[in-house]
Amino acid sequence: MFSNKKFPTYAIYYLIILILLYTPLVLLVVFSFNEGKTVTFPIKGLTLDWYVALFEAQDLLKAMYNSLIIGVFTSVVAVVLGTMAALATTRFSLPGRNFFLTAGVLPLIIPDLAMGVSLQLLFHWAGISLSLWTVACAHTMVNIPYVMLIVSPRLQTFQGSLEEASMDLGAGYWRTLFKITLPVCAPVLIAGFLYSFGVSIDEFDLAYFVTGTHETLPVYLYSQLRFPNRLPLVLALSAIIIAVSLVVLLFTEILSD
């Protein structure tokens, strides 16, 4: 590994990267408590009025509700389909397995902007009206590979002898799956759900192109940036999202270990 003389240099580089990455987030949280409506120094004073005003903005609460419903729905579907894909690729020698794995992770490689435009054209060609359902479909498609990549390592390290012993004692495949395999993998399934939920709540590019008249939270926040008077509410809500995202991320990491 690296010598002791080089370690301080790498530590300084790492510290600089952390400062560049997280300084904007810290400033966002600080300005969410600012009494003024402009993002400028010096801060005029500290207040919680903008956080209180969040609960009075009905259009914002509606967008939040839409995002929560889509996040829960897509996360559940992604966990089910992603776990099925992980089981198929780790437990069975299927023909075309490598092609399936490559195709399965394409949503992680293709830029969201290109995916959003492609899905909008697909829905238009199929005669499907843009709505929250189209957003849910898009988010599910993106989240399935994440779940598959989270669950697959656990299945690969999981002792197959337990499944064999269960089936030797008379339990069929499905009984073994629900009584042995899935309970053992429960922590990573929860981690996959939380990660998918975080991706869905935060996702903007896909939702912007495939949403209809009902906006999700990121799309709503983007639309509000045109109105200076709404900026403090956007900052307050963004600070809450950052805090919740950090908690979910830490919990996901704990469950994934």
- Quick one: average pLDDT of 59-66? 85
Q: Is the peptide bond before 42 cis (omega within 30 degrees of 0)?
A: yes
CB 44 within 8 A of CB 35: yes
In a domain, 151, yes or no: yes
Could you give the C-alpha distances from 28 to 81, 167, 169, in angstroms and in order?
Answer: 37, 55, 59
The verdict on residue 3 lying in a domain is no
In a domain, 14, yes or no: no
Kindly state whether residue 40 falls inside one of the protein's structural domains. Answer: no
Considering the domain boundaries, does residue 110 fall inside one?
yes
Task: Dump pLDDT digits (tens) for 92-113.
Answer: 776 766 777 777 777 777 777 8
Q: Using CA atoms, how far apart are residues 81 and 143, in angstroms rounded to an integer?
A: 10
Q: Which domain holds residue 183?
A: 50-256
Give the pLDDT mean for 118-134: 87
* The pLDDT value given to residue 74: 93
- The verdict on residue 6 lying in a domain is no
In a domain, 108, yes or no: yes
Helices (H) and strands (E) in the chain, counts: 14, 0
Contact 80, 143 (CB under 8 A): no
Phi-psi region of 125 (alpha: psi -120 to 50; beta: other; left: phi over 0): alpha
In angstroms, the first-to-last Cα distance of the chain is 24
pTM of the model: 0.76
Q: How many domains would you assign to the chain?
A: 1
Tokens 């490689």 map to which residue? Answer: 109
Residues 113, 105: Cα–Cα separation, whole Å: 16
CATH of the domain at 233: 1.10.3720.10
For residues 162-171, average pLDDT: 69
**183-237 residue pLDDT tens:** 877 888 888 888 888 888 888 888 888 887 788 888 887 877 777 777 777 778 8
Q: pLDDT tens digits, residue range 1-44?
A: 445 555 567 778 888 888 888 888 888 788 777 776 666 677 77
The one-character DSSP state at 177 is: I
In a domain, 21, yes or no: no
